[in-house]
A = this chain, B = another copy of it.
Amino acid sequence: MTLFPVLIHGAWRPSGNTSGVFQAENPSNKQRIPGEFPVSGEADLEEALAAAGDAARRLRDVPPDALADFLDGYANEIGADLDELARIASEETALPIEPRLKTVELPRTMDQLRKAGAAARERSWRRATIDTAIQLRSQLEPLGGAVVVFGPNNFPFAYNAVSGGDFAAAIAAGNPVIAKGHPCHPHTTRRLAEAAWRALQRSALPAATVQLVYDTPLELGLRLVSHPATSAIGFTGSRPSGLALKAAADKAGKPIYLEMSSINPVFVLERALKERSGEISDQLLNSCLLGSGQFCTKPGMIVLLANAAGQDFARDLAGKFAGRASANLLTSRGPQILEYAVKALREAGAELLTGGQIIDRTGYAFANTLLSVSGEQFLRESKHLQTEAFGNACLIVLADGIDQMVEIAGRLEGNLTGSIYSEIAGGDDEAYRRLEPVLRTRVGRLLNDKMPTGVAVAPAMNHGGPFPATGHPGFTAVGFPASLLRFSALRCYDNVRPHRLPTELRDDNPTGKMWRMIDGEWTQRSVGAR
């Protein structure tokens, strides 16, 4: 059987010193997909890191337009291969080609690459700052070494280590990337990396700007994130893996940007439920079961009052959950993960309203699951009742009043999102004023009257939030130019002679449009121009 090569130092070559091989599996039929992929050993990683170090030095002399040209070219390569990419990814993930992979996720992925390129071209993300009187100039610059990106299983394109948001942001900020693909969709990753490689061949960038390994043992992953040649890490995935990598990176002093678990609480205030119970339950149903609930922003917990309307809502929603067919899950582990989470929630006092069991059928599946628990019990077991159930499961918390709702919000861990539904006419405004300040500090994105799934790639997006949803509350993984900030270092030039300064810090504005802070004022002018 074919053993696929890795991409190191600009060449597709056999993995050296392979620590094993693996195959992808089709989660729709539990069949292995032909072709083997190497689990990279130390040799691959050391070579990739050395090549990335060299690429990082050379990238410093590459104009931002060349970065943007590569990202645009890569997007075009993807655009020319939509059908085959969608087909391969669907086979590996059980996600539907339509309406998901081909017309939603692939266009989003191309859009991200192009927007990252536009941010690189525009250059204002660098926050160039010039104090003319004292000849002090600074800006954000590439880190000087490899950015290692770990991709998750749930977005084979838009968060793929070799094509997703972290990849695009790291490259746009001028860094070489070592991508560690997710082992559940290696064929997709390979085809993407081939597209990247073709675009790279035509670009002015160093050959080692994009490198790929398909998998590596955990202990080598820990060494990779703490290696002297690694400058920063982007990770999207589970909390246990993320925390292990974070501990290793922290100890070595490497910035690591993580997107880990989130239960994305949704609070429905009293009058909103009275006003539009059916509409909200439909929205929740769709948001919760979209992609079989395997989204980092899936609403995993809904908080409402334990009155008759709340009880009705729970019963109604349970019926809707039971009445909709379960989609296949991404991997063989998916059903076990849900079974484990449901067990943890039940042991902590939650009651099963519907679902709760693995479905024995051709593909990997779990029954759409809804649980409920009282607010009082939530407060008693708030840690375990925040166990993330990654997939098509949700917990209803029935609070005995707004006081308890606020108390529940106060027990929440850091989340990516939090939603509040309130009456349109304003009848919930007082309750909102009490709940919002508590919820606000626990989430990265606060929504009104809206479910959290659907993460727009827009400048104002924050796909981030307090620990443990991420590793740092000041950064977003989605949206340009802000997501570039993660993969940069602040570099200052003090009394440095003019011809030695980076282009962006010379007197002349390099694009005529780049925003720079000159003597305390944001401006697009050149130094000295009026």
Binding site for B on A (CB under 8 A): 56-57, 60, 124, 127, 129-131, 134, 136-138, 140, 143-145, 246-247, 250-255, 414, 417, 432, 436-437, 440-441, 444-450, 452, 456, 458-462, 464, 466-468, 471-476, 482, 485-486, 488-497, 500, 515, 517, 519-520, 522
Q: Which residues of B contact A140 (CB under 8 A)?
A: 474
Residue of B at shortest CB range from A144? Answer: B441
Cβ–Cβ contact B493 & A458, under 8 A: no
Cβ–Cβ contact B134 & A456, under 8 A: yes
Extra inter-chain contacts (10) besides given A417-B494, A461-B492, CB under 8 Å: A129-B460, A131-B459, A136-B461, A253-B414, A253-B466, A448-B500, A464-B490, A473-B489, A474-B489, A474-B490
Cβ–Cβ contact B255 & A492, under 8 A: no
A474-B488, A500-B432 given; A459·B129 CB < 8 A: yes
Return A233 CB to nearest CB of chain B, in Å.
13
Cβ–Cβ contact B134 & A458, under 8 A: yes
Return A444 CB to nearest CB of chain B, in Å.
6
Cβ–Cβ contact A460 & B495, under 8 A: no
Return A256 CB to nearest CB of chain B, in Å.
10
A447 to B458, CA, bound (A): 38
A265 to B440, CA, bound (A): 45
Cβ–Cβ contact B255 & A473, under 8 A: yes
A138 to B466, CA, bound (A): 15
A144-B441, A489-B466, A492-B444 given; A460·B130 CB < 8 A: yes
Return A493 CB to nearest CB of chain B, in Å.
6
A520 to B480, CA, bound (A): 9
Residue of B at shortest CB range from A260? Answer: B253
Q: Which residues of B contact A494 (CB under 8 A)?
A: 417, 445-448, 450, 452
Q: Which residues of B contact A437 (CB under 8 A)?
A: 57, 60
A235 to B416, CA, bound (A): 28
A57-B437, A250-B250, A522-B124 given; A448·B496 CB < 8 A: yes
Residue of B at shortest CB range from A502? Answer: B440
Cβ–Cβ contact B138 & A462, under 8 A: yes
Q: Which residues of B contact A441 (CB under 8 A)?
A: 56, 143-145, 489
Nearest first, the 10 A-B pairs at minimum CB distance are: A253-B467, A144-B441, A462-B492, A473-B489, A250-B250, A445-B492, A129-B460, A136-B460, A447-B494, A131-B460
Q: Which residues of B contact A447 (CB under 8 A)?
A: 494-496
Residue of B at shortest CB range from A134? Answer: B456
Cβ–Cβ contact A459 & B520, under 8 A: yes
A436-B500, A473-B255 given; A491·B446 CB < 8 A: yes
Q: Which residues of B contact A458 (CB under 8 A)?
A: 131, 134, 136
A489 to B515, CA, bound (A): 23
Cβ–Cβ contact A448 & B497, under 8 A: yes
A497-B448, A500-B448 given; A255·B472 CB < 8 A: yes
Return A284 CB to nearest CB of chain B, in Å.
16
Q: Which residues of B contact A134 (CB under 8 A)?
A: 456, 458
Residue of B at shortest CB range from A462? Answer: B492
A520 to B119, CA, bound (A): 10
A491 to B466, CA, bound (A): 10
A137 to B458, CA, bound (A): 10
Cβ–Cβ contact B246 & A496, under 8 A: no
Cβ–Cβ contact A490 & B475, under 8 A: yes
Q: Which residues of B contact A432 (CB under 8 A)?
A: 500
Return A386 CB to nearest CB of chain B, in Å.
14
Residue of B at shortest CB range from A420? Answer: B496
Return A260 CB to nearest CB of chain B, in Å.
10
Q: Which residues of B contact A129 (CB under 8 A)?
A: 459-460, 482
A492 to B140, CA, bound (A): 23
Return A103 CB to nearest CB of chain B, in Å.
19
Q: Which residues of B contact A449 (CB under 8 A)?
A: 495
Cβ–Cβ contact B473 & A143, under 8 A: yes
A251 to B414, CA, bound (A): 15
